[in-house]
């Protein structure tokens, strides 16, 4: 299988369980890997034969814009949208990282990573 990676997507969003997290928001970083068979696009040089990374970025941005309490919930929404909107994707790995989380210590970030195969 071939892989497409979107690295270090930077977004500002409003996720969290604390009231200030959903009111003030913070910076996030998202990494996305998708696997699929890109044999046809390697031969044809046609965008319609591949997984369009512009659409992948749009999925991430749209789902990150919808507040959630848990990063796990955000990751699951991103994955469900990929399965629905990008049928060529057979496996996806999503990492959502909250930068400078309010956890009472000096922590650069906290992240959730989920790696799944497309549901049957």
- Concerning whether 69 is annotated as a catalytic residue, the answer is no
Task: Check: pTM over 0.85? Answer yes or no.
Answer: yes
Mean pLDDT of 78-107: 94
What digits encode the pLDDT tens for the residues 69-80?
999 999 999 999
Tell me the pLDDT of the chain averaged across its residues: 95
The structural domains of the chain, with segments of one domain joined by +, span 2-117
Return the C-alpha torsion angle 72, 58, 15, 89, nearest 10. 0
Annotated catalytic residue within 42, 69, 93, 98:
98
At 100 the pLDDT is: 87
What is the architecture of the domain spanning 2-117? 2-Layer Sandwich (3.30)
């Amino acid at each position: 299988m071939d892989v497409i990676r979107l690295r270090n997507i930077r977004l500002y969003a409003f996720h969290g369980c604390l009231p200030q997290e959903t009111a003030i928001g913070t910076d996030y970083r998202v990494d996305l890997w998708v696997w699929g068979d890109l044999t046809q696009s390697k031969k044809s040089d046609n965008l319609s034969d591949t997984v369009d990374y512009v659409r992948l970025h749009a999925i991430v941005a749209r789902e990150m814009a919808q507040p959630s309490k848990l990063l796990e919930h955000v990751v699951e929404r991103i994955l469900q949208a990929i399965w629905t909107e990008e049928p060529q994707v057979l496996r996806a790995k999503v990492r959502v990282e909250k930068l400078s989380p309010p956890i009472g210590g000096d922590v650069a970030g906290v992240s959730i990573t989920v790696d799944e195969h497309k549901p049957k």
